[in-house]
Amino acid sequence: MSSIPPGVILILGSLLVPLLRGKLRQAWMLALPILSWLHLIGLPEGNLIELDLFGYALNPVRIDGLSLVWGHVFHIAAFVSVLYALHVKDLGQHVSGLMYAGAAIGAVFAGDLITLFVFWELTAISSVFLVWASRTERSYRAGMRYLVIQVGSGVILLAGILLRVNAGDGLAFDHIADAISLADLPSLLIFIAFGIKAAFPLLHNWLHDSYPEATPTGAVFLSAFTTKLAIYALARGFAGADCLIWIGATMTAFPIFYAVIENDLRRVLSYSLNNQLGFMVVGIGIGTHLSLNGTAAHAFAHILYKGLLFMSMGAVLHRTGTCKGSELGGLYKSMPITTVFCTIGAASISAFPLFSGFVSKSLIIAATAETGHTFVFLILLFASAGVFHHSGIKIPYFAFFAHDSGRRVKEAPLNMLLAMGILSALCIGIGCFPGPLYAILPYPLEHPFHAYTTMHVVTQLQLLIFSALAFTVLMRTGIYPPEKMAINLDTDWTYRRLLPGVWTVSARVVSGVWGAVLAGGVSCAVRGLRGVYRLHGPEGVFARTWRTGNIVLAAAMVLGGYLVLYFWE
């Protein structure tokens, strides 16, 4: 079994799903993540497989402390996502979801860049079907944009790998660079490829464009794997790169403003996902053992509570047919259990004490303060207050409370409730007892970290209380942006407005110039034909009968001209 890379069981097992029926199919799908995880925990640490491909040494399986954190949580996410989707009859979603999870797990344990590239592209190709499964024109277009960007990330990654090999740096997927510069083109290209999947600023809009267009269950799968795989790749290859500190700080701040004005609650969650990724990127940029442990812990916790929030909104979408804040409200009356689970997810992402987000985010914020990045520390505090504002309050408030929309629907299906219940228990369990999570973190610390110190608890509670107060004041005064049926454009303005506008204007200019040139050419051709007709037509000069004297005179003139030219030389 050690010759089988982790995740391959999920990939191969997904191909058998269409051959099974009923309860047997459901049991098989639930068993696959468990079998894959049991396979993983039975493997020893180290490089387990070594291959020689065209003279290049490949290590398809490398297991260490860093990869194991992602490996464990990816298996948890795969299991609860499958459980959440059991009621779905669409085989395409089941196959693509399992294959997508397996590809992400395989990429995490890749010991060389070629293996990483193969699984990297497989995640892109398999996951797009979760967007297309909605079977709407919008989902088709969003899926195409998603596929182009994700495959483009892989092409850039491959270009960086080839240049790196050509420079003699080898294929090992280890630490790549401490700093990013134009002089080191291979590392720069690999960094950009990772940054696209990690939703760096200006490269991020694929996330908010595609995730809300996926099916209710597809969005749960998508929220767990792609971006967190990119965070793992950055932690593996670019830990300590200073530019990541500022990139991450920007990521934590700017999504807040978009999330506040967004009406689609799944798009709000997509912006908050971008915000949470920023904390992880800051931790990678700082590069200390404490900050990298914080990144790993926050990735672990984030996959769980973000999955829980997407599940709760997916349940709302499943029962009501919409996730628009302007069309929801009062659902706590008919979906009370989903309301409780959503509130737990909201408390976790807001980093309330006794919930998972608090014990993971504290590591990153403490590392930022310890390394003297005061300004970044303040940005993270602002971002912490902002995420409570738009995810901790806005999501449950507009979906389940606010004004009563009059919708009376059934509670979510049992399998959805079970999946949300498992994640809720994990969010509370990790928050109350962080020891097991801290025990699997990859790097040793000089001193044990304690999240529940007076300073951490008081500081966080102050942020949360004042953020709640700000939300209340804005709502009571009517200043808070109203929920409107509109599409808020982000950087997608470039390809939804700018590029089509430039194309339209350019087409008009080119069409006008071509029309003028064509009209001028036709006019010249007509005038030329008329001149030829005047000379050579039936009544033209050359068609008349010439007198003998005129012919002799013309011949003499031609001969004279020839003689002049001849003797001129």
**Digit-coded pLDDT (tens) for 385-432:** 888 877 888 899 888 988 787 888 999 999 999 999 999 999 999 999
pLDDT in tens, 237-294: 999 999 999 999 999 998 888 888 888 899 999 999 999 999 999 999 999 999 999 9
Model pLDDT for residues 304-329, shown as the tens digit of each residue: 999 999 999 999 999 999 988 888 88
* Rounded Cα distance, 267 and 271, in Å: 6
Q: What confidence tier does 482 reach under pLDDT thresholds 50, 70, 90?
A: low
The string of pLDDT tens digits covering residues 165-215 is 988 888 999 999 888 888 889 999 999 999 999 999 988 889 988 999 999
Helix, strand and coil percent figures for the chain, each rounded to 5: 75, 5, 25
527 falls in which pLDDT band (50, 70, 90)?
confident
SS (H, E, C) 18-40: HHCCHHHHHHHHHHHHHHHHHHH
The pLDDT assigned to 20 comes to 92
Q: What is the pLDDT of residue 481?
A: 65
d(C-alpha 65, C-alpha 71), whole Å: 10
Torsion over CA: 250, 252, 255, 261 (sign): negative
Residue 418, classified by CB atoms within 10 Å of its CB into exposed (0-12), middle (13-18) or buried (19+), is middle
What spatial distance separates the first Cα and last Cα of the chain, rounded to whole Å?
94
> Tell me: the pLDDT tens digits for 31-57?
999 999 999 999 988 888 888 877 778
Phi, psi of 168 (to 5 degrees): 85, 20
Residue 562: partners with Cβ closer than 8 Å, 6 or more residues away: none
Instruction: Kindly give, in sequence order, each residue whose CB lies less than 8 Å from that of residue 312, ignoring residues fewer than 6 positions away.
Output: 338, 341, 342, 345, 395, 399, 420
pLDDT at 485: 63
Using the predicted structure, report yes or no on whether residue 531 has a pLDDT greater than 90: no
Q: Are 270 and 397 in contact (CB under 8 A)?
A: no
Long-range contacts of 173-178 (CB under 8 A, 24+ apart): 173/62, 173/110, 173/111, 173/112, 173/113, 173/115, 173/116, 173/236, 173/237, 174/236, 174/237, 175/236, 175/237, 175/238, 175/239, 176/237, 176/238, 177/237, 177/238, 177/241, 178/238, 178/240, 178/241
Q: Tell me which of 143-157, 269-283, 323-337 is least confident.
A: 323-337
Query: pLDDT exceeding 70 applies to what percent of the chain?
Result: 95
Neighbours of 158 (CB within 10 A): 18
CA angle, 494 then 211 then 144, to 5°: 55
How many CA atoms lie within 13 Å of 403's alpha carbon, on the beta-carbon side?
8
- Coil/strand/helix, residue 5: coil
pLDDT of residue 484: 61
Kindly indicate the confidence band of residue 117, based on its pLDDT and cuts at 50, 70 and 90: very high
- Whole-angstrom Cα distance, residue 73 to residue 287? 22
Which pLDDT belongs to residue 407?
A: 82
Dist CA 380 CA 275 (whole Å): 10
The CA R_g of the chain, rounded to the nearest whole Å, is 32
The closest of 294, 293, 414 to 351, measured between CA atoms, is 294
pLDDT at 216 over 80: yes
Rounded Cα–Cα distance for residues 553 and 324 (Å): 95
Highest-pLDDT range among 159-168, 403-412, 527-536: 159-168
Query: What is residue 364's predicted lDDT score, i.e. its pLDDT?
Result: 94
Structure confidence at residue 500 (pLDDT): 79
Structure confidence at residue 361 (pLDDT): 92
Other beta carbons less than 10 A from residue 225's beta carbon: 28
Quick: pLDDT tens for 548-565: 777 788 888 888 888 888
Output b/e per residue, 455-490; b: 16+ Cβ within 10 A.
Answer: ebeeebeebbeebbebbeeeeeeeebeebeeeebeb
pLDDT of res. 356: 93
Please state the separation of Cα 109 from the chain's center in Å. 20
DSSP element (H, E) containing 46: strand 46-53
pLDDT at 2: 62
| 463-481 mean pLDDT | 78
Helices vs. strands in the chain: H and E counts, helices first: 22, 2
Q: What is the DSSP string of 235-296?
A: HHH-TT-THHHHHHHHHHHHHHHHHHH--BHHHHHHHHHHHHHHHHHHHHHH-SHHHHHHHH
HEC letters along 525-561: HHHHHHHHHHHHCCCCHHHCCCCHHHHHHHHHHHHHH
Contacts by residues 137-145 (CB-CB < 8 Å, ≥ 24 positions apart): 138/213, 139/213, 139/214, 142/209, 142/210, 142/213, 143/210, 143/213, 145/206, 145/209, 145/210, 145/495
Q: Which amino acid is at 236?
A: R
Output the pLDDT for position 406: 80
